[in-house]
Structure 1
Amino acid sequence: MSGQRKRLGAAAVAVLVTAVSGCAGWGGGAGGGGADSINVLMVNNPQMVDLQKLTAEHFTKETGISVNFTVLPENDVRDKISQEFSSQAGQYDVASLSNFEIPIYAKSKWIAPLSDYIDKDPSFDQDDVLTSMTESLSGEDGKIYGEPFYGESSFLMYRKDILASKGLTMPAKPTWQQVAEIAAKVDNAQPGMRGICLRGQPGWGQLFAPLTTVVNTFGGTWFTEDWQAQVNSPEFTEATKFYVDLVRAHGELGAPQAGFTECLNNTIQSNVAMWYDATSAAGSLEAPNSPVKGKMGYAPAPVVKTDSSGWLYAWAWGIQEASKKKDNAWKFISWASGKEYEQLVGEELGWSRVPAGKRASTYENPAYVQEAGAFAEPTRQAIEAADPRNPGTQPRPAIGIQFVDIPEFPDLGTQVSQDVSSAIAGRMSVDEALERGQELADDVAERYRSREAK
């Protein structure tokens, strides 16, 4: 919602964005077509590039299955995957998909169910996969269609030393109102330091990744269970006004252009005292060369009317329904998403590079916990608390926390985000932005009401 991206042109969360690096030369077309080979299409995030480097020496050596990778930047890979899977061309056996696409692709029968493979492969240990991850990668039929490679939620990151200098203590479970009060008190605690960083950059996976979680906990929703648009409802409006007012009063400079990467940089450079965003960001904040390493505290995503409000995002593996090599594809997925692979990465590349956020056992591994001790437990708790099927105060028509899992949402969310970003910039009111958003959302809702009436 990369670290989307968490992150993210077409991502459900823009949070993974900081993790995306230009990997010129890693791409290319699907190669080889032998019986003992598979073709994998995946995003060029660093965790995937690590996987590519380790595959031949380990997976292929152990199984005899060669893997032909096509590795592309996020927006490019999403476009290519959509074309490939919607046409069922069968050129690629496996692709990296997020928990936004997987339920949609499962409903369209573009990806194969994995439940039978899981049942026959007890060593994979599906029970070790965090429940919220399994839930978000399952179809309406209850079958599992994707296995997570790594995942994230969201939480509040704050400077312990700055709060202490003002005699403040972060509540164990902060409300958004408490966070706003703290932001006001720590604003300008150091020259040029603002109270909080919140994304203002347009995009359904940028601005609306955090903002939709705020809407949820304020009691709002994009749509009711029977497809009534709620973008200009009192709850959606209150949440958006709160967010816009907070970032305008105590947020980062250049907020209308600030996404995940900009907030990460602001936090590392001590330009802000707090930041609400992806749990994956903590690895950068606690990196050996980070100026704020050891100074950060981590609290659950702030709430108002719900018990929790963190989002949920995963890069996962899916098998194309048209693949003629599903057995070998599963062998690759079970290896890449398995416990042994995490151990391999930790031992060969370092525990900070383990694709975490998906398995309970990761957070019981002493080597990993030692490396990620400052944020490992808050991250696990955030992911486990996320409820993709019931993220707010009322039933929803589609799965999703920081997004609505329908094909129309990327366009809808992005269009509305442009107006909300304009409100942050002072170019229009929140009421005006959401009135326009309501019209767009009602157009989408009408399509679903019409379908259900048939």
Structure 2
Amino acid sequence: MSFKNALCAASTIALMAGSSATAESLTIAIVNNGHMINMQTVAEAYTAETGVELNWVSLEEGVLREQVTSDTATGGGQYDIINIGMQEAPIWGAAGWIEPLEFGADYDVDDILPAMREGLSHDGTLYAAPFYGESSMVMYRKDLTDAAGVTIADNDSWDNVMAAAAAMHDPDNGVYGACLRGKPGWGDNMAFITTVVNSFGGAWFDADYRPQLDSTEWNAAINFYVELLGSYGPPGSEGNSFNEILALYNEGKCGLWIDATIAASFLEVDGVAYAQSPNAGNPVGANWLWAWAMAIPAGSPNAEAASDFIEWATSKDYVQAVGNHPDFGWGSVPTGQRASTYAIPEFQAAAAFADAEMAAIESAAPGATDLKPYVGVQFAAIPEFPEVGSAVAQEMAAALSGAKSVEDALAAAQAAAEAIMTEAGY
């Protein structure tokens, strides 16, 4: 299918689905990640076909969460469409903060990967449509591991990862063994840190929802994290999250990076190989599960037009439009959301990371277990978690920077988490 035909097909779906929509413009709050930025260019064709002007508000991840949460919770009406994820969608849907989504048969909701569909639903109702989905994995410079005589295996031990980072670490030549998230935020440093804690056998809360940051598992995990990144990470790691590390990686400054699978779409250096996330004896929860999705705030006067746009932007036809776009191509399509994407020959040829990404998504384990009473891998799907996670994130950044010892940071984190959960009535 040609680029022109793909866009026309997608636009036809949108027009058929929402011929009665009257909105002349939509304001869309998006996270400033690559696929979302690309959408602004691809969606110019949507405006040309429908006449609907699209006003983009592109924000850094932490700022986006704060502004979208505040506006949606208070019914501020600043946005017609918002980027949210798996932590918010089921909770906000149950609370009536966002509208349920229903699309036409051509949308093929069953093509959305089950993990993404379930994570964005409440009681079987979809409240946010995945623009892209992700797990986490190791992205490493095989040319550097080969030169250093080390290997990184699927589900490797953390000790072996530390050894590989040490072997590749060459700061005199601008190469750091490990680039990992350190910037404070429940979806920033705590996304990665929580998977480390999970793999060490720790959890955020016990069965009574008492915070567990004073446990031996948390202590071991955070000491390891601080040692790994403090010894073999770039200076100022406490200020780095996804976008900062992506820039470092593409400058050739990182030996290994453990982060969102979606990052592989934007790597521009040669010699990259992929491995499933490491663990410390407990593989459950070693790799996260997330989707950046699109939702409609409740009561939006432009809900119908917003639904039409979301249906287009998360459709099979949108994937074709990006793949055939002269500025992007098949290695840049949003992934992790639809099974059909992985069957497209052009995508398979362009995306060396596809098999590793799908394996990571399929192995992610968000369900509640005896170890943890909550749903979620790198977060807990309870309303209080963003506040708890943000407070703990600040303490972990302080431990990484050396402003506090690990023990003092964990003690302060435990006290803050207990106060928040007690105030919430747990």
CA distance in 2, matches of 1:49, 1:95: 14
DSSP-derived class of the 2:416 partner: helix
Alignment of 1:168-179 (within 5 A): 168-179=150-161
Is it true that 1:87 corresponds to 2:74 in the alignment? yes
Is it true that 1:330 corresponds to 2:307 in the alignment? yes
Indicate how the Cα distance of structure 1 residues 55 and 186 shifts in structure 2: closer, same or farther if over 3 A, else same.
closer
The TM-score, its normalising length taken from structure 1, stands at 0.80
Is it true that 1:110 corresponds to 2:93 in the alignment? no
DSSP-derived class of the 1:311 partner: coil
Q: Counterpart of 1:351?
A: 330
DSSP-derived class of the 1:431 partner: helix
Q: Counterpart of 1:125?
A: 108
Q: Counterpart of 2:11?
A: none
CA distance in 2, matches of 1:225, 1:439: 18
Q: Counterpart of 2:5?
A: none
CA distance in 2, matches of 1:39, 1:223: 40
Q: Counterpart of 2:87?
A: 100
Question: Mean Cα displacement is larger for which, 123-132 or 327-336?
Answer: 327-336
Q: Counterpart of 2:367?
A: 389
DSSP-derived class of the 2:377 partner: coil
CA distance in 2, matches of 1:104, 1:239: 29
Is it true that 1:256 corresponds to 2:214 in the alignment? no
Q: How far did residue 432 of structure 1 move?
A: 1.2
Contact 1:198 1:252 in 2 (8 A): no
Q: Note the alpha carbon deviations across 1:60-110, whole angstroms, 9 max, x for none.
A: 63xx57354342424565455334422335565432222232123112211
Q: How far did residue 340 of structure 1 move?
A: 0.7
Contact 1:52 1:69 in 2 (8 A): no
Q: How far did residue 283 of structure 1 move?
A: 2.4
CA RMSD of aligned residues (A): 2.8
Indicate how the Cα distance of structure 1 residues 77 and 308 shifts in structure 2: closer, same or farther if over 3 A, else same.
closer
Q: Counterpart of 1:57?
A: 45
CA distance in 2, matches of 1:55, 1:275: 31
Structure 2 counterpart of 1:352, one-letter code: G
DSSP-derived class of the 1:99 partner: coil
Q: Counterpart of 1:445?
A: 421
Q: Counterpart of 1:422?
A: 398
Indicate how the Cα distance of structure 1 residues 90 and 34 shifts in structure 2: closer, same or farther if over 3 A, else same.
farther
Q: How far did residue 296 of structure 1 move?
A: 1.1
Q: How far did residue 38 of structure 1 move?
A: 6.0
Is it true that 1:198 corresponds to 2:189 in the alignment? no
Structure 2 counterpart of 1:366, one-letter code: P
Q: How far did residue 128 of structure 1 move?
A: 1.5
Structure 1 counterpart of 2:200, one-letter code: F
Question: Mean Cα displacement is larger for which, 319-328 or 297-306?
Answer: 319-328
Unpaired stretches in structure 2, ≥5 consecutive residues? 1-19
Q: Note the alpha carbon deviations across 1:188-218, whole angstroms, 9 max, x for none.
A: 4984533222222333232212111111111
Indicate how the Cα distance of structure 1 residues 149 and 251 shifts in structure 2: closer, same or farther if over 3 A, else same.
same
Contact 2:40 2:56 in 1 (8 A): no
Alignment of 1:70-81 (within 5 A): 70-74=56-60, 77-81=64-68
DSSP-derived class of the 1:309 partner: coil
Is it true that 1:284 corresponds to 2:250 in the alignment? no
Q: Note the alpha carbon deviations across 1:283-342, whole angstroms, 9 max, x for none.
A: 232x3xxxx32x111111112312452122322111233135544433322211010111
Indicate how the Cα distance of structure 1 residues 259 and 318 shifts in structure 2: closer, same or farther if over 3 A, else same.
closer
Q: Note the alpha carbon deviations across 1:140-190, whole angstroms, 9 max, x for none.
A: x23221111122221111111222123322223312222123223333498
DSSP-derived class of the 1:267 partner: helix
Contact 1:342 1:354 in 2 (8 A): yes
The TM-score, its normalising length taken from structure 2, stands at 0.84
Give % identity.
37
Q: How far did residue 407 of structure 1 move?
A: 4.2
Is it true that 1:220 corresponds to 2:231 in the alignment? no
Structure 2 counterpart of 1:297, one-letter code: A
DSSP-derived class of the 1:404 partner: coil
Q: Select the residue among 347, 357, 360 that pairs with 2:339.
A: 360
DSSP-derived class of the 1:195 partner: strand
Q: Counterpart of 1:134?
A: 117
Indicate how the Cα distance of structure 1 residues 196 and 54 shifts in structure 2: closer, same or farther if over 3 A, else same.
closer
Alignment of 1:240-255 (within 5 A): 240-255=222-237
CA distance in 2, matches of 1:435, 1:365: 50
Q: Counterpart of 1:8?
A: none
DSSP-derived class of the 2:258 partner: strand
Q: How far did residue 422 of structure 1 move?
A: 2.5
CA distance in 1, matches of 2:184, 2:41: 35
Q: How far did residue 376 of structure 1 move?
A: 1.9
CA distance in 2, matches of 1:60, 1:396: 49
Alignment of 1:145-156 (within 5 A): 145-156=127-138
Indicate how the Cα distance of structure 1 residues 379 and 161 shifts in structure 2: closer, same or farther if over 3 A, else same.
same
Q: How far did residue 251 of structure 1 move?
A: 2.6
Q: Counterpart of 1:301?
A: 277
